[in-house]
Amino acid sequence: MKIAIIGTRGIPNNYGGFEQLAEYLSLGFLKKGHEVFVYNSSRHKFQEKKWNGINLIHQFDPEFILGTIGQFFYDFNCILNSRKHNFDAIINLGYTSSSIFLWLFSKKSNIITNMDGLEWKRSKYSKYVQRFLMFSERLAVKKSTMLVADSIAIQTYLFNKYNIKSHFIAYGACLFEKENPLILNSFNLNPFSYSMLIARMEPENNIEMILEGVVSSKSDNLFLVVGNYSNKFGAYLYSKFNFDKRIIFTGPIYDFETINNLRFFSNLYFHGHSVGGTNPSLLEAMGCKALICAHNNEFNMSVLGSNCYYFDSNKEVIKILDETNKSSEINQLFINNNYLNIKDNYSWEKIINQYENLIIK
């Protein structure tokens, strides 16, 4: 079959979760004998027309000129171009800036839209933007051939709100098995002597709540904040918490070997995300045998079940930091259960097969 993947900045991945999904899906489809095309931003660092046998179609992306509004023009350019290729199926990753153009897709192509998370719930958006995102969500539901929910909670939401059945296909993750404590040397860290979080600096990721707990805790352990803090909220967090010498703002870390070793050798791994479906960084932490401390919400609970520590206040963060050690027997049980969960339910091989089965129905 002739399959296209649209809605990301492109591959090879150097940005985020949907790009990672596009990379794994395209490679998996190629191995299964499909002809695969991935749409790339004109600004992508990789400018060749093929990557590992996958066809890349670069389209003009004016986001660097227009800001966020540029994403709409980029999606428009990609969708318009897709009409020239007679694709059997187009996997549309996300709907935020593409749904108003979905009617432009060729009627000959099956459009499978991954609905991502509840974008309109993100507190960084104004009420007007939130209303537009709700409108975009309705359009995506109406104009797509099939819908994919990467979380049971999202699947339930779509059914309750729109009375429509979606297909649950989770995000994927790899099992980390090559730990190297020497990588900690460049951070002046010792194994299991620090805790950490990895997140975009946004209010709904509850970073402020977590760091308020760190500041008030009695623990002497260092705490790594991994993520780009150059935006407005990130700068606010840095100015508020940088006084505490235990808290280290590392900035973003893109090297997988480094970030996976940091996860593996952490004492506690905090995951504060509260909006969205199955979060890639959470699955990756589970696959790295991190001890998870997660914000108490339906999205995290649908993945972790009872195999973690939950919090929804800085007081609970304090209690976890002061009383929890990764090496205890119960915590090792949590870690092993999460690791097996990734192996059994979130392997990339399984995710690729599920998407392929959906396409060839």
Alpha helices in the chain (DSSP H): 17-31, 63-66, 70-82, 127-143, 152-162, 207-216, 232-241, 256-264, 280-287, 298-304, 314-323, 329-345, 348-359
Query: Same domain for 125 and 216?
Result: no
Q: Which two tokens stand for residue 325?
A: 């050690």
Query: Same domain for 186 and 332?
Result: yes
Query: Same domain for 133 and 121?
Result: yes
Average pLDDT (334-353) is 96
Query: Same domain for 144 and 69?
Result: yes
Query: Same domain for 164 and 191?
Result: no
| pLDDT band at residue 121 using 50, 70 and 90 as cut-offs | low
Distances, alpha carbon 16 to alpha carbons 20, 70, 84, 181, 245, in Å: 6, 18, 28, 26, 29
What is the residue range of 270's domain? 181-345
| pLDDT band at residue 276 using 50, 70 and 90 as cut-offs | confident
We report the CATH number of the domain holding residue 254 as 3.40.50.2000
pLDDT in tens, 220-249: 999 999 999 999 999 999 999 999 999 999
Query: Same domain for 76 and 144?
Result: yes
Q: Is 271 helix (H, G, I), strand (E, B) or coil?
A: strand
- The pTM of the full predicted model, rounded to 2 decimals, is 0.88
Query: Same domain for 234 and 145?
Result: no
Query: Same domain for 12 and 154?
Result: yes
Instruction: Say whether pLDDT at 119 is over 80.
Output: no
Query: Same domain for 245 and 157?
Result: no
Query: Same domain for 147 and 206?
Result: no
Instruction: Say whether pLDDT at 96 is over 90.
Output: no
Query: Same domain for 158 and 281?
Result: no
Structural domains counted in the chain: 2
